[in-house]
Structure 1
């Protein structure tokens, strides 16, 4: 069956007018909740958040979303419209960074474990390799070589519906063993030349000890 035939029953939305016919418009509170600077409550949220997701796109519109995590408060508030996020050792693909060099616009979502609501920030980013605040981002003796500095353009809090529907923080819904281990996935998809024994050791208990190495 061709792709066209398989999708014969689809009805696609092609303009905003059609979209609004289906979903309607936002209520007054949702439409006007966006702010352009951080409130004291936003600062408190950032001080307790250990995890954020950074969305970027390149000049052609190709997108990337990358998680960033560290001890709570790892995101530094430089002022009411500026955030700094440390970079940590990773796989060195730097997809998000290369996107930012072409298109500085970013979208951020900051999470608190156990909370369904999220803090959202949109703005413009730049990559900084030297600044006084980098010293204060040292963790386990590791001073980041780079930081992402974000100039805030929009900030707002997002409700908990997605987390409530998904049961994300409910341990009764967790099933980490439902899929193969990270080692087995790496063997099948990313690192076929490595032995499974090597990968199980690599991603084993010692993996956490090498996070800042």
Structure 2
């Protein structure tokens, strides 16, 4: 430990510490989807959706479906289907108060990520819902994002974390989900009931309300 906590209080201090971004990092931002962006979205089965409410309270929600689940409506608009979940709707409630969103798209095994920022709205029905059917289930709603900023992140974070290297994986480092739920939540279900809920039948119910 090197002494007391010292905060950064201004952008000038931040730049003094980090330095200026290289020109390529500054100019990589785009406002319309390139063909390679479309290809990335077609291959990605997973993204993180960041939102904030009117007071600035933040939320990040994972979204996943078969590759290509994000539908490109045009060069500046995409749509993400919503599937049955826990019904908290934290991110969606944020969007109703503050439309700004940030998305990070991953492709398993790839260190780069596609980042999209924009303004979102919630749609309960649209003709393109027919293109979002998975296993016979239409989405319950869709998140439509008007794109304001697009760029790729390099692979440094994934390389440092060794995220995609199977030899570093240790799924047993923490207890299974039923035990975690029982330890951190106030729930009436017994551990045995939770184990049945998160058991072999769990995957079959992914698209059921």
Checking the alignment, whether the CA contact within 8 Å between 2:84 and 2:140 is kept in structure 1 is no
- Residue aligning to 2:194: 199
- Residue aligning to 1:165: 160
- Rounded to whole Å, the distance in 1 between the matches of 2:117 and 2:40 is 16
- Residue aligning to 1:106: 101
- Rounded to whole Å, the distance in 1 between the matches of 2:68 and 2:127 is 17
Q: Which runs of 5+ in 2 are unaligned?
A: none
- Rounded to whole Å, the distance in 2 between the matches of 1:16 and 1:25 is 11
- Rounded to whole Å, the distance in 1 between the matches of 2:199 and 2:168 is 24
- Once the two structures are superposed, the pairs formed by residues 137-176 of structure 1 within 5 Å of their partners are 137-176=132-171
- Rounded to whole Å, the distance in 2 between the matches of 1:127 and 1:112 is 25
- Rounded to whole Å, the distance in 2 between the matches of 1:199 and 1:130 is 34
- Residue aligning to 2:20: 25
- Residue aligning to 2:82: 87
Q: What is the alpha-carbon root mean square deviation over aligned residues?
A: 0.8
Q: Which runs of 5+ in 1 are unaligned?
A: 1-7
| TM-score of the aligned structures, taking structure 1 as reference length | 0.95
- Rounded to whole Å, the distance in 1 between the matches of 2:200 and 2:43 is 26
CA displacement 1:69-114 (0-9 Å, x = unmatched):
0000000000000000000000000000000000000000000000
SS of alignment partner, residue 206 of structure 1: coil
- Residue aligning to 2:204: 209
More divergent stretch after superposition (186-195 vs 102-111): 186-195
- Residue aligning to 1:10: 5
SS of alignment partner, residue 205 of structure 1: coil
SS of alignment partner, residue 56 of structure 2: coil
- Residue aligning to 1:96: 91
- Residue aligning to 2:42: 47
SS of alignment partner, residue 84 of structure 2: coil
1:192 to partner: Cα distance: 3.4
CA displacement 1:39-61 (0-9 Å, x = unmatched):
00000000000000000000000
- Rounded to whole Å, the distance in 2 between the matches of 1:32 and 1:114 is 26
SS of alignment partner, residue 99 of structure 1: helix
How many pairs does the alignment contain? 206
SS of alignment partner, residue 150 of structure 1: strand
SS of alignment partner, residue 36 of structure 1: coil
Task: Tell me which of 126, 134, 137 is aligned to 2:121.
Answer: 126
